């Protein structure tokens, strides 16, 4: 596969948000109402990141920060939550998803997040391999997590 030049940066405008939603609609079965996307855009813009090739958005990573019981650490912790990540099919296997994750996690560290977690379909082997490569561990199985009844792994990593 040929080397691809891309840029990863925080989302910058509502027009970019609309493009992110379009990518979500064609790549993932899970969709959210516009207000949910907009809330993340408004509140966590620095950890809601996009990947661009030739100034066109080809992927995104929508994250947020929460307080909750730690999945890795004990007690109540400041957590980063990877809510949704996707890359257009024609741009996959080029390191873009890895770059989106690394950028978001580095930004979360700057916001004093102590761990990051996500949910992933148990059948999504390529995503699971990516997360394990980045140091995530399977913490538990969330039974019937997705609307279609599929289970999810909750995966987490200390930052």
Q: Is-contact 79 113, C-beta < 8 A?
A: yes
Partners of 119 in the β-ladder = 154
Query: Which residue ranges make up each domain of the chain?
Result: 7-119
Summary count for the chain: helices (H), strands (E): 4, 7
Q: pLDDT tens for the chain, 159 residues: list them.
A: 566 899 999 999 999 999 999 999 999 999 999 999 999 999 999 999 999 999 999 999 999 999 999 999 999 999 999 999 999 999 999 999 999 999 999 999 999 999 999 999 999 999 999 999 999 999 999 999 999 999 999 999 999
State the architecture of 7-119 in CATH terms.
3-Layer(aba) Sandwich (3.40)
Q: Is-contact 81 117, C-beta < 8 A?
A: yes
pLDDT at 129: 97
What pTM value is reported for the model? Answer: 0.94
pLDDT at 2: 60
């Amino acid at each position: 596969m040929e080397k691809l030049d891309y840029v990863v940066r925080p989302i910058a405008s509502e027009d970019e948000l609309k493009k992110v939603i379009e990518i979500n609609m064609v790549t993932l079965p899970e969709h959210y109402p516009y207000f949910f996307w907009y809330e993340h855009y408004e509140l966590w813009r620095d950890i809601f990141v996009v990947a661009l090739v030739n100034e066109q958005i080809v992927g995104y990573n929508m994250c947020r920060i929460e307080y909750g019981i730690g999945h890795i650490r004990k007690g109540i912790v400041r957590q980063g939550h990877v809510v949704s990540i996707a890359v257009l099919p024609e741009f996959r296997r080029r390191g873009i998803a890895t770059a989106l994750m690394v950028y978001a996690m580095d930004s979360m560290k700057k916001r004093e997040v102590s761990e990051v977690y996500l949910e992933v379909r148990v059948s999504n082997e390529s995503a699971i391999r990516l997360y394990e490569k980045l140091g995530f561990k399977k913490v538990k199985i969330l039974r019937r997590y997705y609307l279609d009844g599929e289970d999810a792994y909750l995966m987490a990593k200390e930052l």
